[in-house]
Structure 1
Amino acid sequence: MTRPFEGKTVAITGAAGGIGQWLCRFFGAEGATIAAIDVSERVNDLVDVLGKDGIKVIPAIANIASVDQVKTAFAGFGEVHVLINNAGISRHHTLASTDPAGWNEDIAANLNGAYACTHAVLPQMVERRGGCIVSVGSVNGLSALGDPAYSAAKAGIIAMTKAIAMEYGRHGIRANCVLPGTVRTPIWDDRKAKDPDVLKQLERWYPLGRIVEPDEVAKVIAFLASDAASAVTGAAIPVDCGLTAGNIVMTRELTLEEF
């Protein structure tokens, strides 16, 4: 049986991170060659780790905030059929604690980097008359949930996705984004070390009563990148265990009911 991404190259930024590793493994298991990009040298470890499962990985160490580094990385990948803009950081949690340098840092890492990678693959996708771009946004792009620079960048991801869909649809190129809520990744390890109950406290805000698992984000991305979503473009899909459906904590208090 032919696997959905057999013979295709899937470029994944932030490949060495929590969601990134899941994406590499998921698409690799579906037959894709993985063009793995990360600012960390840990991306090289994926060659051996995933290679044990027969997954081919082409690693590249690059800071996607650097246009030159992005250009060099993609030059070594050849044809890219699917781009997943997954890389991102959040280092400035309040507006009061964010200076101009901090603002620029978060915008560069979360928005400008995604644009640089998109810019790198669009010409070949246009020439091939086909391609797919899926970007990882955040529920922060829809509402004020802290981390204002990060949130502004993620709102920009939504706008950029719609612009790509509008301008490049005639070339057979689709662009969509997913908007995760809190995801159980290693980024929470430091917070849990300080407060073991931090995730349990967050879970009460989610209608499903839990936070998102990395593979749940990966599966929605895989759907958007697949032929099953051939008519889906310009979409921003929450993967958030119901967070953006409404304020369940407030609703319970207003109705004085537990439901």
Structure 2
Amino acid sequence: MSQYRFPDGVAIVFGGSGGLGSGVVELMSRSGTDVAFTYHKNKEAADAVVKKVEANGQQGMTASVDLLDIAAVQSFVDSVKERFGRIHSVVFATGAFLNILPVMDAEPDVFYETLDTDVKGFYHILRAVVPELREHGGSITALTTAAIHKYISTDGLSSIPKAGVQHLCTAIAREEGHHGIRANCVAVGLIAIGLSQEIDSPPGGILDQWTKQTPLGRAGAPQELFDTVVFLASENAGYISGQSLPVDGGYSA
């Protein structure tokens, strides 16, 4: 039996086909809940994740959704509600590709696109899911970055938009808590999966800086992150809201 408790209904993971999101989807399904999730372009990867959900004895559903299209986000949430009934947990596990460069070196269009993908995309999600969560309560968990808590040079295109995501979670925790809605962030440090593995970082680069400044002296294991996200989303964390929990080996301490 899983250590994480979820009520009847379904969890939604936005960005569930990537390295981080797929691990969250799989662990949620092992915890005994159906999971619906979105992907951007990689249908093959998304279909593979659905098979893992089904292998765990749960129902899975996936769709390609442009988070900048508020009507598409609402349509997806409506279709999930129609198929599964109650939506009890929502996880935001997506974002723009990580661009490592000084903020003033970023072209305006790149900066705007990054802001849109994170802040507008997450706002569109909230507009769709919060009304559904008000009826029975539930959780919203957003993956952000530990650089919000302790900035690292050249990481602004990640941390600045994710700071907006964090404050949206704070607003929901404060303004919707009386409906039984919890909202938390997981501030992701250096994890041995996903975007961190795609960065070409020579000695002295951002990954080298990050590792040297991490007291535990290593990258986090993916499962260490997945466990934290699913815990915060679950009923086990029923009295935790409005928090940003770094999973970073002590980097931001």
Give secondary structure in 2 for the equivalent of 1:243.
Answer: coil
1:16 aligns with 2:24: no
State TM-score, norm by structure 2: 0.87
1:85 to 77, 82, 92: 92
Correspondences of 1:1-259 after superposition (within 5 Å) = 4-5=5-6, 7-40=8-41, 41=43, 42-78=45-81, 79-93=86-100, 94-126=102-134, 128-145=135-152, 146-191=154-199, 202-245=210-253
Deviation string, structure 1 residues 203-227 (Cα, Å, up to 9, x no partner):
3321111112222111112221222
CA distance in 1, matches of 2:114, 2:139: 25
Aligned-partner Cα distance in 2 for 1:212–1:157: 22
5+ residue gaps, structure 1: 246-259
Q: Which stretch shows the higher mean deviation, 168-177 or 136-145?
A: 136-145
Deviation at 1:7, TM superposition (A): 2.5
Deviation string 1:32-61 (CA, Å, 9 cap, x unpaired) is 111111112232332224323323211011
Q: Distance in 1 between matches of 2:198 and 2:232?
A: 32
* TM-score, L = length of structure 1: 0.85
Q: Does structure 2 conserve the Cα–Cα contact (< 8 Å) formed by 1:212 and 1:240?
A: yes
2:90 counterpart letter in structure 1: L
- Please state whether the residue corresponding to 1:26 is helix, strand or coil: helix
Query: Percent identity, aligned pairs only?
Result: 26
For residue 142 of structure 1, report the CA deviation from its aligned partner: 2.5
Deviation sequence 1:106-140 (CA, Å, 0-9, x none): 112222211211211111111x1311101111112
Instruction: Kindly tell me the number of residue pairs found equivalent between the two proteins.
Output: 243
Moved over 4 A (4+): 194-202
Residues 92 and 149, structure 1, Cα contact 8 Å, conserved in 2: yes
Deviation at residue 6 of structure 1 after TM alignment: 5.4
How big is the shift at 1:156? 1.0
SS in 2 for 1:179: strand
Q: CA deviation at 1:201?
A: 6.7
> What letter matches 1:43 in structure 2?
A
1:171-200 CA-partner distances (Å, limit 9, x unpaired): 1111111101111114344446x8699867
* Structure 2 gap ranges (5+): none
Q: In 2, are the aligned partners of 1:8 and 1:31 still within 8 Å (CA)?
A: no
Q: Aligned-pair RMSD on alpha carbons?
A: 2.3
Give the secondary-structure state (helix, strand or coil) at the position aligned to 1:96. helix
> Structure 2 vs 1, CA of residues 6 and 189 (structure 1 numbering), >3 Å: closer, same or farther?
same
- The answer to whether the 8 Å contact 1:12/1:83 transfers is yes
